Structure 1
Amino acid sequence: MHASTVRTLLVRGMLAGLIAGLFAFAVAYVVGEPSVNGAIAVEEAQGGHEAHAGHEGTATSEAPEEEEGFSRTTQSTFGLATGVLVYGVALGGIAALAFSFALGRIGRFSPRATAALTAAAAFTTVYLVPFLKYPATPPAVGNPDTIGKRTTLFFLMILLSVLLGVAAVIAGRRLAPRLGNWNATLAAGAGFVAVTAIAFVVLPNNDDAVQAGFPAALLWEFRVSTLAIQAVLWAVFGVVFGVLAQKALAAREETAGNGVQLGAPAAG
């Protein structure tokens, strides 16, 4: 793919990520913030005075207002929006580069279908699989003594998941000539699940990630909300970027086709 085309897709990917970030922010504010407020209320009720521990997932950890200098309202609106939008733009650009590499290499899919598959693969490997092993922890309930260990394990799981996903795609492509596309996809997918399950067993658990006595219902609500935020982010990105990429590539092909038609008479 030509460098200018990749650059065009990169810009459109970042734009799609920005739009997806807006939707994700809406979900985070409506669905996620109530559970964050609940977690902070639990800490205050327990008389906790420690800084709120960070968590793996959406970046919504906060510290007491007097220490940070920002009100809770500012943190849950402007601060949250800034974090989610920057996150969306960054991931949108990375996903656009992955799309540029995948287009035409994973099958004869249209740009829209390839964008959807890229978004689904990114959501699965970058968030869903690591989340299943190390689910997000609300602010104020994590053990600050283990934050370094938990963060390391979470990013290790992301790296492992992405590498296994890439390996599964490569294996599926190599098996396709012998097994056919459908059977090769099933075999590669089964291999991914099997190796991931082994990794889940081998890697240590975060049994001390949540302090004892934290309400289970509130913890469940928070984790479901973080999963919903990521699902909306990647779903919107897949749809929006698919449309933008389809139009960009169609315009490139039309321009190239016109160039050939205009140049043909001169060559004759």
Structure 2
Amino acid sequence: MFETITYDIKDGVAWLTLNRPDKLNAFIAQMNREIKDAIRSAAQDDDVRCVVITGEGRAFCSGQDLSEVTEEMDHGQVLRDHYGPMIMQIRQCEKPIIAAINGVAAGAGFSLALACDFRLISERASLMNAFIHVGLIPDSGNLYYLSKLVGLAKAAELAILGEKVTAEQAVELGLALRAIEEDNWTKEVTAFSARLASMPTKAIGLIKRSLKDATNLSFEDYLEKEAQGQRIAGLTEDHREGVNAFMQKRKSEFRGR
């Protein structure tokens, strides 16, 4: 089905692995399209309750494959045709998405990680806004997400200086949830994804909607959207299960419905 990524579903988790390890999983147009298609598939699949994006080999994603760049290239059109649709598909997905940053995430690879809901980072991995080193600006939604996570001043520093951010620094800055020792990498990523997959999936999607509304709407309009979202959540099977489990003093068994 895919050539530049692998896509597997196990125990409610869709594992999307960038699979160009000889190129440090650098982006080509086909990979942009395949990631977009895989995320769309996960979003529409009731058996998928969480998505993990990671990289094969020693890198998460090193950004654009520069061997594809030509003097005639319209970089803006490349964003419109390939990167923008990929990032928008991630943004529109209402299931939780984890960036499991197993190695370097540079340039648009950093942007891809920023677009996810959670970032787990290997202790040997690093982040870098490498665009400045080739005379470009951060793209693929990079500064949109980065400025919200670390503030305008720090986002400017990371974008303009283009310095490497270690795993420890990423956690300190709030760019990653936690740094994980290499020996425990697979175990901890699997456990965290399983935790998200066992939660009330519809409620998570509504939380993601509310977070977007919180930055786009007036407070009065936000309260109305909040009420609409809570009405939807209140009609889900998972809400009824949560209430019943509480009353019966047992652990909830959510089904994502």
Under a length normalisation based on structure 2, what TM-score does the superposition of the two structures give? 0.24
Higher strand share: 2
Rg bigger for which structure? Answer: 1
Under a length normalisation based on structure 1, what TM-score does the superposition of the two structures give? 0.24
Higher helix share: 1
Report which structure shows greater RCO (CA 8 Å, sep ≥6).
1
